[in-house]
Structure 1
Amino acid sequence: MKYLEKIQGLLPLGYLYLIILGLLKESILFYQLGINILKYSSITDILISPIADMASSPILIIVIITVVILFFLFQIILFKNSHKNWSKKLLGSYKIDTETDKQELKKKMVPVFAIMVAFELLALFIGLGIGEGMNINRRIDTQNLKYNYKIVSSSCEPTEIYMIDINSSYYFYVTKGDKHIKIAPVGTINTLEVINKK
């Protein structure tokens, strides 16, 4: 029960870490496009950014689940083979003779696992930010964009656009035949129509 309470106490810190990672990813992505995204983000955008990233990139969820499963499999294999040389090298001077020793070792491995997951998430979010930013930049330069939306603004002219991102206050997009990124407040767009799924 104490173990569960400890995990519940760490959840807010984990979410705060995810928010920082979401901000880092968005900042890196938009920096490559010449935009300071923090100037265009509300507190709500910042708070939901990690959830939005995970919902839009199933690879994040798959990688996180895979790392957790691999950690537990590694633990099981390590404990079952504690008598072998490779296991003894990994464990160092720590000996597993009883069930209590196993429980103690499991508790000691939790911080190592937390650091490993934190580092993995950091690398993943930074990699996604760099990769997406470079990809969008290259596609804008070569005009190799799939114009996936049609907007009607207050001027009532339908325009095909490539939507880079949307937050609670702004649309970030490139119009067909243009290489400049436009930032439009949500209130200036009358309708947004999906014309080509990503």
Structure 2
Amino acid sequence: MKYLEKIQALLPLGYIYLIILGLLKETILFYPLGVNILKYSSITDILISPISDMISNPILILIVLSVALLFFLFQTLLIRYSHKNWVQKLLKNYRMNPELDKRELRKALIPPFVMLAGFELLALFVGLGIGQGQKIKKRMDSQTLKQNYILTTGSGEGTPIYLIDINSIYYFYVKKDEKQVKIAPIGSINTLEVINKK
């Protein structure tokens, strides 16, 4: 029961960490595009950002779960083979007592496991932000962005655009043959139609 209470106490800290990672990713993504995303984000966008990033990309979920599973399997192997020389050397290198019984060893391995999972998420979010931002910037500069939507404004005119992102207040997009990011309030857009890519 105490273990469950500790997990419940750490959940808000974990969510705050995810929010920070989401902010970091969005800031890094929009920085090369010349947009300070924090000026255009509401509290709701900030709170939902990490969860929407995780859920909208199934590959991202698979990567996070597979790495967490690998960490768990590695921890299980260390506990199972704690009597082996290679495990004892590894634990001594990390200043852990290899003579602990299996239950105590499991508790001692939780903080490094949490640190590794946190570092994995940090690397993933920062890497995604850097990769996506640089990719969009390079394609904008070379005019090779492929339009993925047709945006219709109040005038009824449809314009092919590359949609970078949407939050609860603004659309962020690049028009065909342009090199600047446009930011439009959601109320100014009538329709957004997906371009069929066959």
In structure 1, the residue matched to 2:32 is 32
1:102-139 alpha-carbon deviations (Å, 9 max, x no partner): 11111111111111111111111111111000000011
Task: Indicate yes or no: 2:194 matched with 1:190.
Answer: no
4+ runs of 1 displaced by more than 4 Å? none
How far apart in 1 are the matches of 2:19 and 2:11? 12
Task: Indicate yes or no: 2:13 matched with 1:13.
Answer: yes
1:37-96 alpha-carbon deviations (Å, 9 max, x no partner): 000000000000001111222233222211221122112222332232211101224215
How far apart in 2 are the matches of 1:154 and 1:29? 29
In structure 1, the residue matched to 2:82 is 82
In structure 2, the residue corresponding to 1:32 is in which secondary structure?
Answer: helix
- 5 Å-filtered alignment, 1:159-170, equals 159-170=159-170
8 Å CA contact retained: 1:160, 1:175 = yes
- 5 Å-filtered alignment, 1:1-198, equals 1-92=1-92, 93-96=97-100, 101-196=101-196
Gaps of 5+ in 1: none
1:134-181 alpha-carbon deviations (Å, 9 max, x no partner): 000011111112211111101221111110100111001111122221
Q: Percent identity?
A: 66
8 Å CA contact retained: 2:146, 2:162 = yes
TM-score, scaled relative to structure 2? 0.93
Count of residues in Structure 1 that have an aligned counterpart in Structure 2: 193
Letter in 2 for 1:164: I
Quote the RMSD (CA, aligned, Å): 1.3
How far apart in 1 are the matches of 2:44 and 2:57? 20
How far apart in 1 are the matches of 2:127 and 2:14? 20
TM-score, scaled relative to structure 1? 0.93
Gaps of 5+ in 2: none
